[in-house]
Amino acid sequence: MDAIWLQTLLLADSTVRLATPLVFCALAGLLSERAGVVNIALEGKMLGGAFAAAAAAAVTGSAWIGLLAACTFACALALLHGFATITHRGEQVVSGVAINIVVAGLGPTLADAWFGQAGRIPLPGSDARFAPIELPGAGGAPAIPVLGPLYAEVVSGHNLLVYLAVAAVPTVAWILAKTRFGLRLRAVGESPEAVDTAGIGVEALRYAALLSAGLLCGLAGAYLSIAQNAGFIRDMTAGKGFLALAALIFGKWRPVPAVLACLLFAFADAAQVRLQGTPLPFVGTVPTQAIQALPYLLTLLLLAGFVGRAVAPRALGRPYVKDR
């Protein structure tokens, strides 16, 4: 009994770890897409953040400076995206894909030039990373039956960014629902002309949305390279940005359902790791590749069958042009 409970808790624990970057990115996608800008560049902005975090942390030895660098670089990419899509009314998907491609190449190239480690950036010491935080009482908690191990294994022992992601969910939901910025952001994604004629600038509003999205992508990237892992490697985001985008659509552009979708994907990923090499009843050992494909298969199935009609923000993907 206890062994099964412990296994479940370990699975839950790794689900939380794997969900963190997805949650940041899904919230980032939410902010920009509810404002009407398709953000297929989540992947590139997160990867850029991971690279900048590792580079800055490796040079300065400070995780905090790494975090700052990640957010700055991801925001710079968001500004670039905005310049193309908002100021010049460019195609949002095409410019987003361009950002993904540029960052995928730029990161390893610069890493190679600066650190000479074949495109990798290893971190020098433990100060350059965000360490796990032991919550009060976690040490003695396992003694308490059932809930004790839950507290010690799942709730406690994560790094700062995990807790930041947990806090970001209600924060973003609150901003969208209860603040002036949130109201305007939702409006500009549905009907930019209504925003314009209400005397509010459409462009500034969309820039603000993209920048807040950039900030969250930076957090996601920093988590990957200086919290979950110790350093930057080529393509370390491995499609998580796209997965977050799928979660966003699956969650119908709403914060809580989108985050639940992130948890589902993360759970599939965590289960996949545990299932590798484990013989299954009746089937025997399934090839690793087939198991690794599980989260993506799940995505396909969910998006194809169970989403129902996902109604996107009405002005999504449409640059704002005044009509005559």
316 binds another protein (CB under 8 A): no
312 binds another protein (CB under 8 A): no
Number of residues that bind another protein (CB under 8 A): 23
- Exposed, middle or buried by CB within 10 Å (0-12, 13-18, 19+), for 164? buried
Contact 313, 32 (CB under 8 A): no
Q: How far is the CB of 28 from another protein (least distance, A)?
A: 22
Q: How far is the CB of 194 from another protein (least distance, A)?
A: 4
Q: How far is the CB of 311 from another protein (least distance, A)?
A: 8
Nearer to another protein, 140 or 201 (CB): 201
Distance CA 112, CA 216 (A): 26
89 binds another protein (CB under 8 A): no
Q: How far is the CB of 204 from another protein (least distance, A)?
A: 12
Partners of 231 in beta bridges: 122
Partners of 121 in beta bridges: 232
Report angle CA 299, 302, 169 to the nearest 5 degrees: 75
Nearer to another protein, 175 or 302 (CB): 175
310 binds another protein (CB under 8 A): no
Q: How far is the CB of 171 from another protein (least distance, A)?
A: 14
CA distances from 242 to 21, 53, 55 (A): 12, 21, 24
**Which residues ranging from 151 to 210 are in contact with another protein (CB under 8 A)?**
178-184, 186-187, 190-191, 193-201
User: What H or E segment, with its residue span, contains residue 231?
Assistant: strand 231-232
SS3 44: helix
- Residue numbers of the site for another protein (CB under 8 A)? 178-184, 186-187, 190-191, 193-201, 314, 322, 324
